[in-house]
Homo-oligomer: A and B are copies of this chain.
Amino acid sequence: MKRPSLIALATLTALTVALTVHAADPLPSWNDGAAKKSIIEFVTKVTKLDGPDFVQPAERIAVFDNDGTLWAEQPIPFQGFFTFDRVKALAPQHPEWKERQPFKAVLENDMKALAASGEKGAMEIIMTTHAGMTAGEFEKIVKDWLATAKHPRFKRSFTDLVYQPMLELLAYLRENGFKTYIVSGGGVEFMRPWSEKVYGIPPEQVVGSSIKLKVEMRDGKPVLIRLPEIDFIDDGPGKPVGIQKFIGRRPIAAFGNSDGDLQMLQWTAAGEGPRFMLLVCHTDAEREWAYDRQSSIQQFDKALDEAQRRGWTVVDMKKDWKRVFPF
């Protein structure tokens, strides 16, 4: 079923794309500097058809952490706000929570008491708010929450707090034949309802942490019930595992911002041929936040040391980004 005219046309389109991409600055929100230069050099070399570093489009897999890499994560990762808001929304059906930890702590915004409830308390809150409903119901809960919830500092939707330079980077990679994936420690079903609209990343290209599911028949139709049991934690050493499970190919480019991304970057770096690893450093207290090595969210030491030692690209938000958010 060869169609020479079609193939010719497709080639022409590819050429036009190539010419158009090179004509304009693909990363207008990035200041000219080492970080921007390293990105463009990498993309140029792996797409140069007759070059020594050419990579087949099928192998052009790029993986992105989400919290702190594609959108902000302060003062706490945004799924935390979702979780607390869910506890408050469900509280009228659970009058006993007024006196019961860890729910009491959430209802009273008592972060100290919440921290005292430890991992067991956190898990109880997560399972109460994320399990027990169908997959479809949970998707609607996430969408409804996003439609009204506001970030405490910026008074804007959480999905407004995505990084404009990273949106440009995602688009630039896709225009150059890359398949872009999210590989995040966040809940996969928390990200999928909005990843396509916000990042242009479809649900099937989102890898994340998950709880177990089971099929149940309701009114003669199957539904998927979310069970209060961890299925997979996509963080740290879980990230290369998640990449293998869900993608089944090693990426050639990886983007992160914490020690939780280190193994993902190491796994990417350990492949053959050209590789690109990038870490985002939060250095801009005015436009965003400055934390980095002093992060209260997730440690960021080993990954930064390794980036410096191995020459991975390190983005200094304050210096490298003209704009931080799209607004």
Task: State whether B241 touches A215 (Cβ < 8 A).
Answer: yes
Q: List 20 A-B contacts (CB under 8 A).
A: A1-B24, A1-B171, A5-B16, A5-B20, A6-B20, A9-B16, A13-B13, A61-B204, A188-B245, A188-B248, A189-B248, A202-B249, A203-B249, A210-B245, A215-B267, A222-B240, A222-B263, A222-B267, A222-B270, A224-B240
Asked whether any CB of chain B lies closer than 8 Å to the CB of A237, the reply is yes
A224 to B245, CA, bound (A): 11
Q: Which of chain B's residues have a CB closer than 8 A to the CB of A215? A: 237, 240-241, 263, 267
Asked whether any CB of chain B lies closer than 8 Å to the CB of A266, the reply is yes
Asked whether any CB of chain B lies closer than 8 Å to the CB of A105, the reply is no
* Distance between A250 CB and nearest chain B CB, rounded to angstroms: 9
Task: State whether A204 touches B270 (Cβ < 8 A).
Answer: no
Task: State whether A241 touches B213 (Cβ < 8 A).
Answer: yes
A206 to B24, CA, bound (A): 37
Q: Which of chain B's residues have a CB closer than 8 A to the CB of A171? A: 1
Task: State whether A9 touches B13 (Cβ < 8 A).
Answer: yes
User: Which residues of chain A (64-106) have a CB below 8 Å from chain B?
Assistant: none
Task: State whether B1 touches A6 (Cβ < 8 A).
Answer: no
Asked whether any CB of chain B lies closer than 8 Å to the CB of A112, the reply is no
Asked whether any CB of chain B lies closer than 8 Å to the CB of A3, the reply is yes
Asked whether any CB of chain B lies closer than 8 Å to the CB of A244, the reply is yes
The 6 closest A-B pairs by CB, nearest first: A203-B248, A215-B237, A221-B270, A204-B247, A213-B241, A192-B248
* Distance between A13 CB and nearest chain B CB, rounded to angstroms: 5
Asked whether any CB of chain B lies closer than 8 Å to the CB of A111, the reply is no
Beyond the given A5-B20, A61-B204, A203-B249, please list 19 additional residue pairs across the A-B interface where CB-CB is below 8 A.
Answer: A1-B24, A1-B171, A3-B20, A5-B16, A6-B20, A9-B13, A10-B13, A13-B13, A58-B196, A202-B249, A203-B248, A213-B244, A215-B237, A215-B240, A215-B263, A221-B266, A222-B263, A224-B240, A231-B245
Asked whether any CB of chain B lies closer than 8 Å to the CB of A246, the reply is yes
Residue ID in chain B nearest A205 by CB atoms: B204
Q: A13, A24, A202, A248: which has the most chain B beta carbons within 10 Å? A: A248
Asked whether any CB of chain B lies closer than 8 Å to the CB of A116, the reply is no
A247 to B222, CA, bound (A): 17
Residue ID in chain B nearest A239 by CB atoms: B215
A247 to B213, CA, bound (A): 14
The proximity string for A residues 231-265 relative to B, scoring 1 for CB distances below 8 Å and 0 otherwise, is 10000010011001111110000000000000100
Asked whether any CB of chain B lies closer than 8 Å to the CB of A135, the reply is yes
* Distance between A14 CB and nearest chain B CB, rounded to angstroms: 10
The proximity string for A residues 129-146 relative to B, scoring 1 for CB distances below 8 Å and 0 otherwise, is 000000100000000000
Q: Which of chain B's residues have a CB closer than 8 A to the CB of A230? A: none
The proximity string for A residues 210-226 relative to B, scoring 1 for CB distances below 8 Å and 0 otherwise, is 10011100000110100
A171 to B17, CA, bound (A): 25
Q: Which of chain B's residues have a CB closer than 8 A to the CB of A188? A: 245, 248
Residue ID in chain B nearest A189 by CB atoms: B248
